[in-house]
Amino acid sequence: MSTPIIVGNWKMNGLSADSADRVKQITADLAAQPVSGVEIVVCPPFTQLALVATALKGSPVALGAQDCHKDAKGAHTGDIAACMLKDVGTTHVILGHSERRRDHGEVDETVREKTVSAIAAGLTPIVCIGETEDQRQEGQTEDTLGWQIKGSLPDGFDGIVAYEPVWAIGTGLAATSEDIQSTVAFIRAELVRQFGDAGKSLRILYGGSVDATNAASILAIPDVAGALVGGASLKPDAFLSIVRAVPAR
């Protein structure tokens, strides 16, 4: 079985003092009450990466970023290359989040190019897919996810897929266990269809209003190998409750 992973996406939140305090609480708690059998990643804003990288040294928590550019260098004002993220100690990067797709017009091809760049730099890409409420209501969930997988994941993909139904992100609404199980089963089948045997071992995360109250039931679903956590990751106690909700495997 693949090792479960809990990823905290801090989004556009936190100044240096906030980040330092959050990491201090997380690492102190884990030092006092260690966990095993689960990977932990936190993804702060770009401006906090170097500070958080230093604060995480010697801890079991890995550092992730929230995006990268498709090119390794060049005239791209305001962008960050994957190799730059690697240079400051980043090991993972979130790509294709629905907020990037919505706010910056990112399409599957863009996500695919960024994923290729991340892999080339030695980062583990966490590629997000998910349907909107309209797509869900119109019965287009599977078609949407299938096309996102085909368009966003390059040949030979060896990263992580995060299923985040857009209608559940930041709304307080999480999909039911039955909905998640059936959708993740479809994603698994689609990964196997597109990538063969390699698709059987790719980790699939669930994201979308995951918190301390629903984490245990979500993480117990077959084929859910962890969670991509938004708002709850800003609260160390809540985030670590989710980490500790990972069932033994």
Residue list for the binding site for substrate: 9-11, 170, 209, 230-231
Asked if 145 and 186 touch (Cβ cutoff 8 Å), the reply is: yes
| Residue list, annotated binding site | 9-11, 170, 209, 230-231
Alpha helix (H) ranges present in the chain?
Answer: 16-32, 49-56, 82-87, 98-104, 108-120, 133-137, 141-152, 177-195, 215-219, 236-244
Residue of 39, 69, 97, 99 marked catalytic = 97
* Tokens coding 72: 């390794």
The three-state secondary structure class of 65 is strand
**Any catalytic annotation for residue 164?**
yes
Residue of 39, 99, 164, 190 marked catalytic = 164
Q: What gap in Å lies between CA 233 and CA 236, rounded to an integer? A: 7
Q: What gap in Å lies between CA 63 and CA 172, rounded to an integer? A: 26
**Any catalytic annotation for residue 97?**
yes
Catalytic center residues: 97, 164
